[in-house]
Amino acid sequence: MSANIALVGNPNCGKTTLFNALTGEKQYVGNWPGVTTEKKTGVPKNHSGLLITDLPGLYSLHAYTQEEETAKNYIFSDKCQAVINVVDGVNIERNLYLTLQLIETGKPIVAAINMSDVLEKRGIKTDYKKMSELLGIPIIAVTASKGQGIEALLELAEDLIRNERGEPSCLKKTVVYGAELQSLIENAKRIFSSQNANYALWRAVAFFDTGKDGGYKGNFDILTKQADALAERQNMDTDMLVSDGKYDFITGLLRRVRKGGSSKKNFSKKIDAVVTHRIFAVPIFFAVMLCIFAVSFGPPGQALKNVFGYLYGRLIIDGASALLTKAGVSEMTYGLIIQGILSGAGAVLSFLPEIALLFISLSLLEDSGYMARAAFISDRLLSKSGLSGKSFIPMLMGFGCSVPAIIASRTLENDRQRRLTMMIIPFMSCGARLPIYAVFASVFFPDSVPLIIFSLYLLGIIIAVLSAFILKKPVLKGNKGEFILELPEYRMPSLKNIRIHTLARIKDFALKAGTVIVVSCAAVWLLSNLGTDFKMTGDTGESILAALGRFIAPMFKPLGFDDWRAVTALLSGLTAKEAVVGSLEILFNISTNPTVLTSVFTQQSAYSFLVFTLLYTPCAAALAALKRELKSVGWFLISIAYQLIAAWLTAFLIYNVIGIFKGL
């Protein structure tokens, strides 16, 4: 039987980093609050008796959002036997608030003071032995990002499980609250204890904090009267008395155990003076993004892509071709494998280097703390649309993949805002759409590939924000949420995090190329080589796919393209957006002769095609996530309809506006 230990702490204090260090797992770490939205478990290598759970972050045990609720419920469940309280040593005042609450629950707890490297750099010294005595819990300093203090922490955790204690020892030694409140709390605690309530002390404090009696019987009326009288005398509500008591206690505690520091804190402030500047903030953000695109899709990315493409052609295609010829397979099998599956998947895979570069750059920004500023900057704009800057983070995750982004919208406490955020996330251009942009941009706009791709990303953001404005009325009904994102300190990005982020994305991409894309490429090849009589046909124009495509194609005529191949490529994109490139490869053989696309598209209609690709209904996986998280078939169908209409209308508008300018 292994013991369950939960990692509990404020958002962005390093829980997931610690979790990864403790268990050797590779969970997503980001330098902003709200990255972990579901609990994850893992077993440390040499301590198989422990089962560690990584929880979403909490500022307080009174939960406000759905993910905080998840964390809170887990902590209070019997399953959770002990708690490792991760404390961000740099923001220790705020973090210890939760620590005091945890101590009040009486759960066995060990505090891991994280970010010790930063404290050391700033010359802050803490007497943890004394602090441990004053709080009555074991305390240890760790640096999660460097794996320091991990082994000792695990040993403390094991000790904790071995001598599970019931009563919080903290309050035996120290009085946290003023004498009057303290005695009221003791009285309330007696009421709860007499009914064998678990967490009696916590319930007692919570009674004065939130006014909830948890359904227990007793003379709560008298207590409430006494509390009101106290509040009157102190000129402060009891919940304020409770939190003030905690903060006063923390200040006193730190005065006794901490020395030095606070000279380097201005570093973040200085950078922020520039990057969150009232006027320069937005231009700086766009300049940064443009640089990223120039690296990923400009000469560096393209050079890498060429190398990769060459190797794939020589090693995989030529190799398989030789093998198949030797084995003497039928023409159909040869075509299916070489021209269908391998070429289709290869066309998709060839974008791996560019995508990797993009994700390395994005995770650099994220881990340094800059992305949290971007969210902060966007708050002003987003709040006008009824969203909050908090929606920005899930939206930003949508640049990677809509699926985790949709799940990440759980950080929004307001249900309506959450729904609205989920509905517009698919407009954020995900990594899977990149290959399509890259193919078209290099054929039709060879001199400005990064700029074209950047413009599509920008358009996605614009349509998302516009949609928020449009959908605000029906979806939000005038409800507004508050933005409480705090700005994390700037940090040197850690190689390990960047590796984890980038590898996860690449794996995802390659895995899809190996599964969904293979199936859809095989299907496209077969359907484009079988005639309507289900026999092989030499002329793809006579194929089943052509018939299907021609049937739908007229719908796209107003957008400037009605070639059946273009239309069926879009259809195949419903399985996964990468499949569009796979299909184009099979139908046009674009990798050997990309300019064939000019026989079907003009610059104008190519851009219109890209706009449609950007905005139309996301892939099957994202739709599944959307359906699950929206928890309503009605809203799900509305989302799909909205996305299709938005895609068609925007592409139509842009196509015609370009037409007008061309005509001038």
Binding site for Mg ion (CB under 5 A): 15-16, 35-36
Residue whose CB is less far from ligand GDP, 143 or 583: 143
Closest contact distance (angstroms) between CB of 128 and ligand GDP is 15
**Residue 72 interacts with, from ligand GDP, Mg ion, none (CB under 5-8 Å by kind):** none
Kindly state the helix (H) or strand (E) to which residue 290 belongs, with its residue range.
helix 281-297
Question: Helix 415-424 to helix 620-630 angle, to the nearest 10 degrees?
Answer: 170
**Residue 100 interacts with, from ligand GDP, Mg ion, none (CB under 5-8 Å by kind):** none
**Residue 101 interacts with, from ligand GDP, Mg ion, none (CB under 5-8 Å by kind):** none
Closest contact distance (angstroms) between CB of 366 and Mg ion is 13
**Residue 117 interacts with, from Mg ion, ligand GDP, none (CB under 5-8 Å by kind):** ligand GDP
Residue whose CB is less far from Mg ion, 411 or 639: 411
Residue whose CB is less far from ligand GDP, 273 or 495: 495
Closest contact distance (angstroms) between CB of 369 and ligand GDP is 7
Query: Could you tell me the CA-to-CA distances from 646 to 561, 570, 608, 642 in Å, in that order?
Result: 17, 16, 13, 6
The span from the CA of 354 to the CA of 113, in Å, is: 39
Residue whose CB is less far from Mg ion, 27 or 537: 27
Residue whose CB is less far from ligand GDP, 13 or 223: 13
The span from the CA of 395 to the CA of 372, in Å, is: 12
- Side by side, which strands form the sheet with 40-42? 40-42, 50-54, 3-9, 82-88, 109-114, 139-141
- The alpha carbon of 345 is separated from its chain's Cα centroid by a whole number of angstroms, namely 27
**Residue 618 interacts with, from Mg ion, ligand GDP, none (CB under 5-8 Å by kind):** none
The per-residue b/e assignment along 227-237, b for 16 or more CB within 10 angstroms, e otherwise, is beebbeeeeeb
Contact footprint for ligand GDP (CB under 6 A):
9, 11-17, 29-31, 35-36, 57, 114-115, 117-118, 143-145, 367, 491, 494, 497
Of 499, 271, 274, 489, nearest to 369 (Cα)? Answer: 489
**Residue 302 interacts with, from ligand GDP, Mg ion, none (CB under 5-8 Å by kind):** none
Closest contact distance (angstroms) between CB of 502 and ligand GDP is 15
Q: Helix/strand/coil (H, E, C) string of 575-635?
A: CCCHHHHHHHHHHHCCCCCHHHHHHCCCHHHHHHHHHHHHHCCCCHHHHHHHHHHHCCHHH
Residue whose CB is less far from ligand GDP, 489 or 578: 489
Tokens read off for 445: 């706009």
Query: Could you tell me the CA-to-CA distances from 386 to 466, 538, 629 in Å, in that order?
Result: 11, 56, 20
Q: What is the dihedral of CA 24, 27, 31, 34, to 10 degrees?
A: -140
Kindly state the helix (H) or strand (E) to which residue 8 belongs, with its residue range.
strand 3-9
Closest contact distance (angstroms) between CB of 104 and ligand GDP is 22
Residue whose CB is less far from ligand GDP, 112 or 352: 112
Residue 601, exposed/middle/buried by CB under 10 A (0-12, 13-18, 19+)? Answer: buried
Residue whose CB is less far from Mg ion, 18 or 463: 18
Closest contact distance (angstroms) between CB of 13 and ligand GDP is 5
Residue whose CB is less far from ligand GDP, 23 or 143: 143
**Residue 441 interacts with, from ligand GDP, Mg ion, none (CB under 5-8 Å by kind):** none
Closest contact distance (angstroms) between CB of 57 and ligand GDP is 5
Closest contact distance (angstroms) between CB of 11 and Mg ion is 8
Task: For residue 125, list its beta bridge partners.
Answer: 259
Q: Which amino acid is at 367?
A: D
Closest contact distance (angstroms) between CB of 257 and ligand GDP is 20
The span from the CA of 236 to the CA of 554, in Å, is: 70
**Residue 389 interacts with, from Mg ion, ligand GDP, none (CB under 5-8 Å by kind):** none
**Residue 410 interacts with, from ligand GDP, Mg ion, none (CB under 5-8 Å by kind):** none
